[in-house]
Amino acid sequence: MTDVPKFNKSPWVVHFNCNSCNGCDIEFLACLTPLYDLERFGILHVGNPKHADVLVVTGSVNHRNARVLKNVYDQIPEPKVVVAMGVCASTGGIFADGYNVLGGVDKVIPVDVFVPGCPARPEAMIDGVLKGAQILEAKHSGKTPLAEKNVLTRTPTPVATPVAQEKGAPHA
């Protein structure tokens, strides 16, 4: 420990709901309540990826939101970590076999912490964010390889090809 306050003193979280049933989201909001009080760890819930350090994702990734998730991830400044919150975000959960579902968050962006549970408990969520915050420091000091640098000219990952269309789904 040096005297410089670490990233883990103030991890700011942006929350992205991919495809969630809202179970995890409700639990995550419960973390803000006086009972759990996220803020006592210096964690702030921000609305904007550009101010965030930790991207908390709930729900599985599908073809439509993969691009959005990628964009949001790209707009978080380095160092950043991704916390996959709940079993859907981790693996796709019970939706994994859906025709439109790609799977867990790690199919699109690199994930640092998986928090299992359906829904995950608030304690587990806070723990997950704080685990992520430890990784932030490591990433900053270069101990773990940084996520690939993103530049403006980067084209979005071609995951958005609508599989549904190929299968002739009615909404296409």
Partner 1 sequence: MIIPQTPLMVVLLVVLAPLFGALLCGIDRRITARAQGRIGPPILQAVYDTIKLLRKEPMLLNRVQIVYAYLHLAFMILAMLLLVFGQDSLMFLFVFAFSTLSLVLGGMCVRSPYSRIGSQREIMLMVAYEPILILLMIGFYLVNGHSFMLSAPMTAAKPMLLSLPLLFIGFLVVLAIKMQKSPFDIATSHHAHQEIVKGLTIEYSGPYLAILEIAHFYEMALLFFFIVLFWSSPAWVGIILASLSFFLMTVVDNAFARLTSMWIFKFMWTGALILAVTNVLWLYWASK
Partner 2 sequence: MQIQEALIALLVLGPLVFGLLMLTGVKGVLRNALVAVAGVTTIAAGVALPFYSGVIVPDVGLPTLITTLGNWIEPMVILTVLAIGFSIRSWPVRIMALIQLGLCVIGLLMSRHEPLEETKLVVDSLAMIMVLIVSVIGSLIALYAIGYMNGHEHHAPATAASNNRFFFVLISFLGLMNGLVLVDNMKWLSIFWEGTTLCSFFLIGHDGTAEAKASARRAITINVFGGLAMSVGVFLAAHSVGSESLSVLMSKGPVVLLPIALLAIATMTKSAQMPFQSWLLGAMVAPTPVSALLHSSTMVKAGSYLILRMSPGLEGTPLAAVVAIAGAFTFALTSALAIGQSNGKKVLAYSTIANLGLISCCAAIGTPLAYAAGITILIFHAISKALLFLCVGTIEQSIGSRDIEDMGGLLFKMPLTTNIAIVGMISMMMPPFGMLIGKWMAIESAVHFPVVLILLVLGSALTIFFWAKWLGRITTTSYHEKYTIESISPWMRTVLAVIGIGVVVASICALPIYEQVIRPVSLLTFSEQASNINISILDSVSAFLGWPMIIVIGAIIMALATGALLFKPSRLRLPYLCGENVDSDETTYTFRSIADAPSTAMLTSYYLPLFGESRITTWANPLAALIILSLFGVLFI
Q: What minimum distance in Å lies between the beta carbon of 60 and partner 2?
A: 17
User: Binding to partner 2 by residue 1, rule CB under 8 A?
Assistant: no
Which residues pair with residue 85 across a beta bridge? 58, 115
What's the CA gap between 93 and 118, in Å, rounded? 9
Q: Say if CB 154 and CB 86 are below 8 A apart.
A: no
What's the CA gap between 107 and 90, in Å, rounded? 10
Question: Residues 112, 38, 95, CA angle at the centre, nearest 5°?
Answer: 50
User: Binding to partner 2 by residue 74, rule CB under 8 A?
Assistant: yes
CB atoms < 10 A from the CB of 29, how many? 14
User: Binding to partner 1 by residue 142, rule CB under 8 A?
Assistant: no
User: Binding to partner 1 by residue 5, rule CB under 8 A?
Assistant: yes
Q: What minimum distance in Å lies between the beta carbon of 65 and partner 2?
A: 8
User: Binding to partner 1 by residue 110, rule CB under 8 A?
Assistant: no
Running DSSP on this structure, what letter comes out for residue 118? T
Q: Tell me how long the chain is.
A: 172
User: Binding to partner 2 by residue 48, rule CB under 8 A?
Assistant: yes
Q: State the residues that interact with partner 2 by CB under 8 A.
A: 16, 48-50, 64, 67-72, 74-75, 149, 151-152, 155-156, 160
Q: State the residues that interact with partner 1 by CB under 8 A.
A: 4-5, 7, 9-10, 12, 34, 37, 39-42, 44-48, 50-51, 53, 75, 77-79, 140
